[in-house]
Structure 1
Amino acid sequence: MLTIYHNPRCRKSRETLGIIEDSGAMVQVVEYLKTPPAKGDLKQIIEKLGIKPEDLIRKGEAIYKEKYKGKTLTDDEWIYAMEENPILIERPIVVKDNKAVIGRPPENVKELI
């Protein structure tokens, strides 16, 4: 079973979900702007991605530019920022068991199918 942290307004997220659906894989869709992942879930996702929390931040978002640009935050502070402002979370993220990928490009999801 795959889990996709999805934003239906995002083209890359829709393309990634389409690849999953076309493959016939079972998928749980989490619209993360409506149901943001909790701190513990974010930590697990980041660990499965093998990246630092700051690397999961969407730096083009207005809230990033207003509140965080140029600042040095701890890993926990970045996670808190994403928890409080889920729009900052890069999308889409697809998780399967102990692995995760960011669907940029959408074809990255094929590693998990």
Structure 2
Amino acid sequence: MTVIYHNPRCSKSRQTLSLLEENGITANVRLYLKEVPSIEEITTLLSQLNIPAIELMRTKEATYKELGLNKDSSDEERIQAMHNKPILIERPIVIHNDKAKLGRPPEQVLELF
């Protein structure tokens, strides 16, 4: 099964979804701003991506600073913040066979297939 964490307002997310479709890959679309990932799901995503929490965050979002997050924040604080405010989660994320890739650039997700 293939899943894309998708925000239709994001051009990279739209490009990634189109790229999957152009390559004959059907993905379950998860509108993560509405279907907020649990703390466990975010932790699993980080493991699948093999990155620290800071690399999954949109640090330039105003919400990041509003929450008092900074370079010294712990992964636990970051994960909790992404759960509470999913706008902080970088997108798009494609998951396939227990591995994941960020679609930045979109072509990067094709490495999963």
Normalising to structure 1: TM-score of the pair?
Answer: 0.94
How many residues are matched? Answer: 113
Give distance in 1, aligned partners of 2:68 and 2:54: 11
Residue equivalent to 2:73: 73
Q: Is the 8 A contact 2:7 2:92 kept in 1?
A: yes
Q: Secondary structure at the match of 2:79?
A: helix
Identity of aligned residues (%): 48
Residue equivalent to 1:11: 11
Q: Which amino acid aligns with 2:82?
A: M
Q: In the TM superposition, what whole-angstrom CA distance separates every residue of 1:38-92 from its partner, at most 9, and x where no partner exists?
A: 1111111100100001111101111112223435222111110000000000000
Gaps of 5+ in 1: none
Q: Secondary structure at the match of 2:13?
A: helix
Q: Which amino acid aligns with 2:91?
A: R
Gaps of 5+ in 2: none
Residue equivalent to 2:21: 21
1:93 shift after superposition: 0.4
Q: CA RMSD in A?
A: 1.2
